[in-house]
Amino acid sequence: MQEPPKSSDPRKYLDPKFLSKIARLEVKARLIVEGFISGLHRSPYHGFSVEFAEHREYVPGDDIRHIDWKVFGRSDRFYIKQYEEETNLKAYVLLDVSESMAYPHAGIGNASRAGDDARPSKFEYGTFVAAGLTHLLLRQQDAVGLTLFDEKVRTYVTPSSNPSHLSILLSEIERAPLRQKTNVGAIFHEIADRIKKRGMIIIVSDLFDSLEHLKRGLKHLRYKGHEVIVLHVLDDDELSFPFQRMTLFEGLEGYPELLVNPQSLREAYLEEFHGFLADVRRICRDLRVDYVKLSTADALDVALSAYLAKRAGTQRT
């Protein structure tokens, strides 16, 4: 598969016009998070001063003033001293880098229409979403980490509240290949086991996995006390199936090519696909997971602003 073209400058995902439109928004935790009581988010802790909490391994962009040199002397590895006020909120962005996220740049046979090259792939659109939310969280002095996944965790960057952390995360995203299958459920289980303290999990994916695997993975994250937001990124072709003439569909994630007359299966496809969407929404609702459907045909600032404004309006007290 030919991968979608990528810019050499990851700052392309930080469009100033987009950021200016979401600048007044906030990403507040609805559930109690484990951290310092001051700030935007409620905490289960009361009456302590700013004190040492734990060590974590140094990542590029961390403030070197917080390196524990005693630990370095013993282990020959760099570790950062982390304090309670640094754990105000830890958000983890889980970005799907499986092959299906490359659509439509992955190739759609003779179904291509004028303008296809101009619209973003699901991955590119999802990266704009991730970059925008990360920008807001860092501006709030919250810590943000990143997981890139397909059938395995490909990249795991621990959370940091350093403003320079955003460029590190975007550089990791820029290098991600889109070649493998998805295994959403298994990834959620792994992340739930890895993250020890309650925080916010932001999932950016097309969620192409079995509903049962998805449900079990989300249930595990919620069982661990995490607040979970699912940003379901889909291409407009998947939502409307606009193909008219005989079309060769290129198989992604291991599926074979298929030459079909789209008009003969459009009704059945739309019934099946929208049934899948309804099931995903139901699973999220039952587990108290925020669900947002995003189409690559939608203006990103409008879609993201509408969700965050609605979220702020329904904030629990």
User: Could you tell me the CATH number of the domain that includes residue 138?
Assistant: 3.40.50.410
Residues 6+ apart with CB under 8 A from 167: 10, 11, 61
Which H or E element spans position 54? strand 52-57
Beta strand pairing status for 247-249 and 143-149? unpaired
The pLDDT of residue 285 is 97
Does residue 112 sit within a domain? yes
The pLDDT of residue 202 is 96
The pLDDT of residue 16 is 72
**Residues of the chain predicted below pLDDT 50:** 1-7, 32-33, 35-50, 85-87, 107-115, 316-317
Domain count, the chain: 1
Minimal CA–CA distance to 191: which of 238, 230, 224?
224
Q: Which residue has the tokens 């979401």?
A: 22
The pLDDT of residue 147 is 96
The pLDDT of residue 317 is 39
The pLDDT of residue 72 is 84
The pLDDT of residue 251 is 54
Minimal CA–CA distance to 176: which of 194, 150, 196?
150
CA dist 313 and 28 (Å) reads 11
Alpha carbon separation from 76 to 37, 158, 160, 204 (Å, rounded): 34, 20, 22, 36
Does residue 59 sit within a domain? no
* Residue span of the structural domain in which 223 resides: 12-34+88-313
Does residue 198 sit within a domain? yes
Does residue 295 sit within a domain? yes
pTM score, whole prediction: 0.75
Q: Residue 91: exposed, middle, or buried by beta-carbon count in 10 A (0-12, 13-18, 19+)?
A: buried
* 8 Å CB contact between 100 and 208: yes
CA dist 42 and 225 (Å) reads 14
**At 207, is the secondary structure helix, strand, or coil?**
coil
Residues 6+ apart with CB under 8 A from 246: 110, 259, 260, 261, 262
Does residue 261 sit within a domain? yes
Does residue 149 sit within a domain? yes
CA dist 120 and 124 (Å) reads 6
The pLDDT of residue 108 is 43
The pLDDT of residue 260 is 63
Does residue 202 sit within a domain? yes
The pLDDT of residue 67 is 85
Long-range contacts for 298-303 (Cβ within 8 Å, ≥24 apart)? 300/18, 300/125, 300/128, 300/129, 300/132, 301/17, 301/18, 301/21, 301/22
Task: Report the largest interatomic distance among the alpha carbons of the chain, rounded to a whole angstrom.
Answer: 70
The pLDDT of residue 242 is 78
The pLDDT of residue 36 is 38
Does residue 44 sit within a domain? no
The pLDDT of residue 12 is 72
Minimal CA–CA distance to 66: which of 76, 53, 75?
53
